[in-house]
Amino acid sequence: MLPVISCRHLWWGGLRRRICLNQPVLSRQHLQHLHIRVGDRAELSRAFTQRDVVTFSELTGDVNPLHLNEDFAKHTKFGKTVVHGVLINGLISALLGTKMPGPGCVFLSQEIKFPAPLYVEEVVLASAEVKKLKRFIAIIAVSCFVIESKKTVMEGWVKVMVPEAPKS
């Protein structure tokens, strides 16, 4: 059993409050039970089809013609329809939830940008690398780039809660 924090005094709303927490205090020994380490990497590739984009639009209600209407999109700076940024981000969610850290991982926050568009049928490689690990929280650098052209279509970082390693 892990040791627990008993009680702490905190200033909250201008008042001193006594807060009792039952959160584990993790030592180096406890961190060994995690199944990821700083520097761990994982990758996943995929090409999104127009059907994927249409299905995503139907599910979310995001019917922006930039994603769905070739005639509309060809008159924009992109020249043709583009994949939803959130759909690209979903590839990162799949990578983290299935490969590293894996099943049980929970997204807590993220900061991402989309420096270039992803077009339908371009093969994109999603990658993730653990940059920091503190207790059961990992900071992971993420990016997606088109394999053929090497253009980056998404980059940033995510903070996730890491599941404990499966018991053997």
Q: Give the pLDDT confidence of 38-73 residue by residue, as tens digits.
A: 999 999 999 999 999 999 999 999 999 999 999 999
Predicted pLDDT of residue 107 = 87
> Which residues pair with residue 110 across a beta bridge?
158
| Among 94, 128, 132, CA closest to 112 | 128
Is residue 125 within 8 A of residue 90, CB to CB? The reply is: no
User: Is the previous residue joined to 24 through a cis bond, with omega within 30 degrees of 0?
Assistant: no
Is residue 92 within 8 A of residue 159, CB to CB? The reply is: no
Per-residue pLDDT tens listing for the chain (168 residues): 344 344 444 444 455 544 444 444 333 433 344 578 899 999 999 999 999 999 999 999 999 999 999 999 999 999 999 999 999 999 999 999 888 888 888 889 999 999 999 999 999 999 999 999 988 899 999 999 999 999 999 999 999 988 776 555
Query: Which amino acid would we find at residue 41?
Result: R
Is residue 148 within 8 A of residue 45, CB to CB? The reply is: no
pTM exceeds 0.75 for this model: no
